[in-house]
Structure 1
Amino acid sequence: MFYRPEAGHGLPHNPFNAIVAPRPIGWISTRGADGDNLAPYSFFNAVAYVPPQVMFSSTGTKQDRGKTKDSVAHIAETGVFCVNIASAALKDQMNASSAPLPAGTSEFESAGIAQTECETISCARVVDAPANLECRLTKIERLAGEANWLVLGVVTGVHIREDCIVDGRFDLKRDGWLSRMGYRDYAAVHELFEMERPE
């Protein structure tokens, strides 16, 4: 099978959503003048080590936000955001926070997710997340398409839950790494293997 995206694929569901997988989920918390927001984004990843940097992209709109969503609107307003790592153990809370609530409604409150303050930025973070990355915005870039935005940030603070440090390494085998596989499919990763790079 071959198709050009602009011509369509002829399948009942878009295969592109599942081809680039698994994808980690950036559970992004923000704060704006209208309050706190929490939303998951599966177009998310780390992009540099020194200084540590991350990215996520928002690919839709909300009626009450014009050409973007609450997360991007808040980040444009304040210049900060927090990435909360969503483990498999938190899948239901993560999913609940994806509800399209009106602007100014806190997903922390509506989904019953415990929150606390960040250290280096004015923003809330998810208490039970295995790790939180506090970030300062470096760039919001308009992507091709009607409502596609790329958000880049530098990490200014890292929280790691104590039980997720095992033998000096960040370890989520107990909770499971959560990843998006496309469509409505997710994966919980509990098994790892090592590979040595060639010299």
Structure 2
Amino acid sequence: MEIDPDEVPSMYRTLAGAVVPRPIAWVSTTGPDGTDNLAPYSFFNVVAVDPPVVMFAPVDDEGSPEGLKDTPRNVRRSEEFVVNVVTESVAEAMNETAATLPAGESEFDRAAVTRADSTVVAPPRVAESPVAFECSLYEMVDVGGSSMVLGEVEWVHLDDAVTTDGKMDVEKLDAVGRLSGSLYATTDDRFSMERPP
């Protein structure tokens, strides 16, 4: 099978089904009315180490104010957000926060997720998440029908349970990744290969 992107209605299924598993940014923001917003985004990754920058890319929403969903709109206004890492223990709660809620309702409350104070940004982080990156807006870039949000990591919360000798230990983090549709994957089935010189 060959695909010409110009000849199909959408490349979503092909891209989302082949680029797997994708890490999930569980992004918390605070709206201008004080409502805490929490939403998952599987178009997410690390962009740079120095400065430390992560990105997530929500699809634009023509039916929303400014054509943006709550999360990117809140980030544009406040220039702050928190990326919470999704683990198997909070996967169902993360899925609950994907629901579309009426204005003024918080996904934290819908999913019974605990707010924890952040250190340098205003939006709360998810207390149940073992890793949280407090971010300031580095840049927001329109890319077709999406908005790529780049955030500089200003503070990191690491649960001691996912560290060894004071460093992040991937063997101890049961992160969840997005596949396609309603399929997800865990990262507990691992293998090792030595990088060649």
The 1:117/1:99 distance shift into structure 2, 3 A limit, reads same
**Match of 1:45, SS?**
strand
TM-score, normalising length: structure 1: 0.90
TM-score, normalising length: structure 2: 0.91
Q: When the two structures are aligned, how many residues end up with a matched partner? A: 196
Matches of 1:46 and 1:141, distance apart in 2: 16
Q: Which residue of 1 aligns with 2:78?
A: 78
Could you tell me which runs of 5 or more consecutive residues in structure 2 were left unpaired when the two chains were aligned: none
**Contact 1:30–1:124 under 8 Å retained in 2:** yes
Q: Which residue of 2 aligns with 1:163?
A: 161
Runs of 4+ in 1 over 6 A off after TM superposition: none
What is the RMSD computed on CA atoms of the aligned residues?
A: 2.1
Q: Which residue of 2 aligns with 1:19?
A: 18
- 1:103-114 superposed matches below 5 A: 103-114=103-114
Q: Which residue of 1 aligns with 2:176?
A: 178
Q: Which structure shows the bigger proportion of residues in helix conformation?
A: 2
Per-residue deviation at 1:22? 0.9
Deviates more, 1:109-118 or 1:162-171: 162-171
1:144 aligns with 2:144: yes
Per-residue deviation at 1:107? 0.5
The 1:27/1:131 distance shift into structure 2, 3 A limit, reads same
Matches of 1:104 and 1:63, distance apart in 2: 17
Q: Which residue of 2 aligns with 1:90?
A: 90
Deviations 1:60-111 (A, max 9, x none): 4173434110000100110010000011121100000110112321100111
Matches of 1:82 and 1:164, distance apart in 2: 19
Per-residue deviation at 1:123? 1.0
**Contact 1:85–1:131 under 8 Å retained in 2:** yes
- 1:21-100 superposed matches below 5 A: 21-34=20-33, 35-61=35-61, 63-100=63-100
Matches of 1:192 and 1:170, distance apart in 2: 16
- Percent of aligned pairs with the same residue? 35
Per-residue deviation at 1:155? 0.2
Per-residue deviation at 1:191? 2.8
Could you tell me which runs of 5 or more consecutive residues in structure 1 were left unpaired when the two chains were aligned: none
